A = this chain, B = another copy of it.
Amino acid sequence: MSAYDDLMAHARETEALKQVLGRLGWDQETVMPRGAAAQRAEEMAAMEKVLHARRTDPRVGDWLNRAEPADEVQQAHVRELRREHERATRVPADLAAAIARTTSLAQGIWAETRAADDFAAFAPTLTEVLNLRRHEAAALAEGTDLYDALLDDYEPGETGASLSRIFDALRPRLVALRERILGSDRTPPKLSGRFDEATQMRLAADCARVFGYNFAHGRIDRAVHPFSSGQGLDSRITTRTDPENPFDCLYSTIHEVGHGSYEQNVDRAYLLTPLGTGASMGVHESQSRIYENQLARGRAFAGWLFAKLRETYGDIGVADADAFYAALNAVESGYIRTEADEVHYNLHILLRFDLERDLVRGALEVADLEEAWNSRFAADFGVAVDRPSNGVLQDVHWAVGLFGYFPTYTLGNVYAGCLFAAMQDGVPGWAAAMAEGDATPATGWLRERVQKHGSRYLPRDLVELASGAPISPEPLLSYLERKFGALYGL
């Protein structure tokens, strides 16, 4: 066996063990008995320890030094394994343990202080988490930018500067677009009625099939927060139901189908290898967003879905497919990121990106964070934050140390804009099929251009290769301005 073969044999087992850990997480959120949490924590900690020992195994460093990859795929495997090994070995074990312990406690403190709307009570905890992650970043960065070191874990190849260039171009046009929409005289209609939840789950499965989700390699269950879990031959999704709002279930499902199908569609040759999963958080989000927004909130699918809902539930409070399409794409002012429409969503992210980058680089203190949040929100959204739970305390991310994660949401939307433009050029019949309840011409293009490659390419390279053009915010902006300009008669 060559060093490369030894490395890959070890890596395959590690990938299999990662899937096992992911499966425990799925079980915990879907079927685990309510009294099993304490035992499950021990099980997951034992698995984490096994995985950490494998990632930092000195033999891996030795194999990496001696491996002679024979082609570009082998080079990509070595690239991914080197990233993982270096990130695992650079962070001292006691620092990693302190981060795990502190963020675990911080999550509970965040939930309490959010409920009490008391940022000052949360600030010491956030400071502690931030400092630990800055120490981790310093260990990883080896002299380069601290924020970039954290970002690289979620979006390999990107930097704060590379993202700023894109995001700074988005912000003024998004602010202008929301102002024009909210200043228009059109009020979108709303659905009304009671929507049986078991029926919603059947419709969700129908929608999943429309978008090409393969139930031989996945399943849909209910969970408090929708998520996707697993890879390759076993990629599951979850959704939730609200008896008064079927959109929550159906669009959560379609979003997760974007993630879950991506994992199902990775080339089987990469199964249980370092390339056998999506390229990054950003590319993953590009797939879930293009399924959910560009495709499922488009006019063609809206027509199909309106007919389906009418057939299922009778009168749903909107007169025709055009009104349904308008209801589906209502733009409304709001404080909460997770409830935001396509126009507002990225403004929420840009705010977080700028603030967290300053926090990590030491240009903003936690003591000044609430004020910074509120003044930025007023500038971009034209509304004053009324309380911390509607502002700086709304998301769990920072409490659990996820600095560098937020920008991948907007990068995913930018990627979705680029890919959607290219797909429209490449698949002329996509919308006609969509109107008939068949998204597979569109999703098939994504599978061939993006999904099947797994982690073979760096994220930005992959999207540029797929779309045939350099990454730019322009396609996303044009799409939003055209779509919402028409909807709101601008």
Contact = CB atoms under 8 A, between A and B. Distances in A.
A40 B24 CA distance: 13
A349 interface: no
Interface in A1-49: 12-13, 16-17, 19-20, 23-24, 27, 31-40, 42-43, 45-47, 49
Interface string A213-245: 011111100000000000011101000000000
A307 interface: no
A176 interface: no
A50 interface: yes
Contact of A33 (B46, B217, B272): B217
A359 interface: no
A34 B234 contact: no
Contact of A47 (B20, B31, B37, B271): B20
A23 B38 CA distance: 15
A214 B20 CA distance: 26
Interface in A399-420: none
A26 B266 CA distance: 27
Q: Copy number in this complex?
A: 2
A interface, over-half SS: helix
A45 B24 contact: no
Contact of A43 (B16, B34, B42, B45): B16
Contact of A50 (B17, B23, B232, B272): B17
B216 A34 contact: yes
Contacts of A234: 32-33, 36, 39-40
Contacts of A39: 16, 19, 232-234, 271-272
A262 B234 CA distance: 32
A42 B236 contact: no
Contacts of A24: 20, 23
A220 B49 CA distance: 31
A272 B41 CA distance: 12
B20 A20 contact: yes
A268 to B, nearest CB: 10
A42 B12 CA distance: 9
A28 to B, nearest CB: 10
Contacts of A34: 216
A19 B34 CA distance: 17
A232 B13 CA distance: 28
A23 B36 CA distance: 12
A43 B19 contact: yes
A225 to B, nearest CB: 19
Nearest to A217: B35
Contacts of A43: 16-17, 19-20, 23
Contact of A16 (B27, B36, B45, B214): B45
A216 B35 contact: yes
- A23, A24, A27, A233 pick with most chain B CB within 10 angstroms: A233
The 4 A-B residue pairs with the shortest CB-CB distance in the complex, in nearest-first order:
A35-B216, A36-B234, A16-B46, A39-B233
